[in-house]
Amino acid sequence: MEAFLFFSCGALMLLGGVMMVLQRSAVVAALWLVFAFIAASGVFAALSAPFLAIMQVLVYAGAIMVLFLFVIMMLQGPVLEGERKRLALPMWPAVAIPPVAVLVLVGSWLSRRHAEALPVQPAGFGSPGQVADLLLGRYLLAFELISIVLLVAIIGALALGNRERKLPWS
């Protein structure tokens, strides 16, 4: 079951990535990326990492991509000139669904062949407690350094974005 989930979610993730690149509309591309993120969370779930799986959806699909979409939509109206030539709705599922089905089938076939490739993890593996132990114990320094990098990035973005306005420190 885990192997089946792993391979089919992996296949769907690939599909999401490919579809994202092939889109002409930036909004639809962003949505395919969200699809790929959710499929990636399925891959994490199949690898017995529930915490990571949920975090993938919560952070990437739920927060970051919403902001991306927000910006794209502000900049671009719903119908671009180039998009008008694209497939109409009745064709759209007909084009999108067969590849999904094929990919799921390929996933199940792969999972039959490579079922033993997924190691069985000990109980409690990937639980929030274990992730926390690693992040705030063994990798504490790296974790804190990353948060400092992010803080610097935020301040940098503010400084660059607000060039015209006077900032308190400039």
Residues that bind another protein (CB under 8 A): 25, 27-28, 31, 34, 50-51, 54-55, 57-58, 61-63, 66-67, 69-70, 73-74, 77-79, 88-89, 92, 127-128
Q: Which is nearer to another protein, 58 or 145 (CB)?
A: 58
Q: Are 9 and 39 in contact (CB under 8 A)?
A: yes
How near is the Cβ of 114 to another protein at its closest, in Å? 26
- The 8-class DSSP code of residue 82 comes to G
When the beta carbons of 19 and 110 are compared against another protein, the nearer one is 19
When the beta carbons of 80 and 117 are compared against another protein, the nearer one is 80
Nearer to another protein by Cβ, of 59 and 140: the residue is 59
The CB-side HSE value for 100 (13 A sphere, CA atoms) comes to: 12
Minimum distance from residue 23 beta carbon to another protein (Å): 11
- Nearest approach in angstroms of CB 113 to another protein is 26
- Cβ neighbors of 44 (< 8 A, separation 6 or more) are 50, 52, 53, 56
Q: Residue 95 corresponds to which amino acid?
A: V
Taking a C-beta distance cutoff of 8 angstroms, is the pair 94, 17 a contact? no
* Widest Cα–Cα separation across the chain: 63
